[in-house]
């Protein structure tokens, strides 16, 4: 019993006084900052932005010892922790979630943590990211820790190559829709939509001025790019995938040729699945996927990578 009381007393003596915020002997104040890992989906500066932080500290036995949430009004670029010198910690961060999460009580629960969005473009706080540093030991000569954050979304960059269209064919993009996007992601585990309830009912939509770049064509027939974003979805091989749970792009096109035209409304529609190849529907977090649509001839032919809906075309 005396030994147990002595250990408890020793731990209390080296802890931080939460009322005064002072660091007592035996603890180290560590300033935690974040660096976005790699640049696979980095383009505009907003993809690097961090506006709010959930920081989770797991100590001996994987027990949650601290959970700090800092919102966008109070986040200054670093988060301060008071850690026992020489002790080993696993430190996890959830960035740009926009609210204080319910942190798992045990380290093993991180893999079960999930982040949800309501709308496809529901990331006004910044792209959601996660970071994990395992086995960190605080020391008097190591008072800074930089966590490498990974974006939980991927970017889909789209362009149009009109160089192979026949003379007299007009192919103007009116809308771009990214459909069947996952509505949730596991910050610390890979995943895919498991059922219809995991899919957003609305599409990530760009239209009007937001698709101007796709209708700005250079001398070689190439357009500019537009970017869309979605959560990770490891859909696997196309033949094994569930179509209703597989993300795809839908282009709504104002079409005109010497013999055909599109009625007002949906116009000509192109649809194609997105992934790491025509037979692979994996879309991985923190990656950039570039797709160039290359219509040929009349622009009405279907190939093995896309389908063409001509039901809204009329003839002259």
Contact predicate 138/202, CB 8 Å: no
| Measured distance CA(226)–CA(156) in Å, rounded | 8
Confidence at 188, pLDDT banded by 50, 70, 90 = very high
The pTM (predicted TM-score) of the whole model is 0.83
pLDDT (0 to 100) of residue 5: 34
CATH number listed for the domain at residues 153-315? 2.60.40
- For residue 244, CA distances in Å to 101, 196, 197, 217, 282 come to 30, 7, 11, 34, 15
pLDDT (0 to 100) of residue 10: 31
CATH class for the region spanning 27-151: mainly beta
110 versus 233: which is more confidently predicted?
110
pLDDT (0 to 100) of residue 192: 82
Q: Which residues contact 272 (CB under 8 A, 6 or more apart)?
A: 248, 249, 291, 293, 305, 306, 307
pLDDT tens per residue across span 235-274: 888 777 788 889 999 999 999 999 999 998 889 999 999 9
pLDDT (0 to 100) of residue 203: 87
Residue with tokens 């993809």: 47
pLDDT exceeds 50 at position 286: yes
pLDDT (0 to 100) of residue 12: 31
pLDDT tens per residue across span 107-136: 999 999 999 988 887 777 789 999 999 999
pLDDT exceeds 70 at position 15: no
| Measured distance CA(67)–CA(104) in Å, rounded | 10
In the chain, what are the domain boundaries?
27-151, 153-315
pLDDT tens per residue across span 201-219: 888 999 999 999 999 999 9
Which helix (H) or strand (E) covers residue 8, if one does? helix 2-13
pLDDT (0 to 100) of residue 279: 82
DSSP string for 262-301:
EPSSS-EEEEEE-SSBTTEEEE-TT-EEEEEE---BTS--
pLDDT tens per residue across span 150-164: 999 999 999 999 999
pLDDT tens per residue across span 21-77: 444 458 899 999 999 866 454 444 478 889 999 999 999 899 999 999 999 999 999
Contact predicate 187/109, CB 8 Å: no
153-315 shares the fold of 27-151: yes
pLDDT (0 to 100) of residue 243: 82
Query: For residue 35, what are its two tokens?
Result: 């660096």
Query: For residue 189, what are its two tokens?
Result: 């585990």
**Selection from 309, 257, 267, 86 nearest residue 173 by Cα:** 267
User: What sign does the dihedral 274-280-286-291 (CA atoms) show?
Assistant: negative
Burial class (CB in 10 A: 0-12, 13-18, 19+), 276: middle
Highest mean pLDDT among 15-19, 37-41, 77-81 belongs to: 77-81
277 versus 282: which is more confidently predicted?
282
| Measured distance CA(209)–CA(211) in Å, rounded | 5
Q: Which residues contact 171 (CB under 8 A, 6 or more apart)?
A: 160, 162, 165, 253, 255, 295, 299
């Amino acid at each position: 019993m005396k030994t147990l009381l002595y250990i408890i007393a020793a731990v209390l003596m080296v802890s931080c006084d939460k009322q005064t915020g002072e660091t007592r002997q035996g603890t180290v104040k560590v300033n935690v900052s974040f660096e976005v890992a790699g640049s696979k989906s980095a383009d505009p500066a907003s993809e690097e932005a961090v506006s709010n932080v959930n920081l989770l500290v797991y100590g001996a036995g994987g027990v949650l010892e601290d959970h700090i949430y800092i919102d966008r009004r109070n986040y200054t670029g670093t988060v301060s922790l008071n850690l026992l010198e020489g002790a080993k910690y696993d430190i996890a961060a959830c960035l740009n979630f926009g609210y204080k999460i319910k942190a798992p009580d045990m380290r093993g629960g991180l893999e079960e943590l999930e982040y949800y969005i309501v709308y496809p473009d529901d990331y006004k706080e910044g792209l959601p990211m996660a970071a994990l540093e395992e086995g960190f030991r605080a020391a008097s000569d190591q008072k800074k820790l930089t966590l490498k954050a990974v974006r939980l979304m991927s970017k889909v960059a789209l362009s149009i190559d009109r160089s192979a269209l026949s003379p007299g064919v007009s192919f103007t993009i009116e809308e771009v829709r990214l459909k069947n996007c996952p509505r949730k992601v596991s910050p610390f585990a890979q995943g895919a939509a498991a059922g219809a309830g995991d899919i957003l009912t609305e599409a990530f939509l760009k239209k009007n001025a937001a698709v101007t770049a796709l209708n700005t064509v250079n001398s070689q027939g190439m357009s500019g790019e537009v970017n869309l974003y979605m959560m990770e979805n490891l859909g696997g091989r196309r033949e094994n995938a569930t179509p209703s749970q597989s993300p795809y792009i839908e282009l709504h096109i104002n079409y005109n040729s010497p013999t055909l035209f599109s009625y007002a409304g949906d116009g000509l529609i192109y649809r194609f699945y997105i992934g790491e190849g025509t037979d692979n529907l994996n879309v991985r977090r923190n990656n950039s996927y570039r797709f160039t649509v290359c219509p040929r001839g009349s622009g009405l032919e279907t190939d093995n990578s896309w389908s063409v809906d001509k039901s809204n075309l009329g003839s002259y």
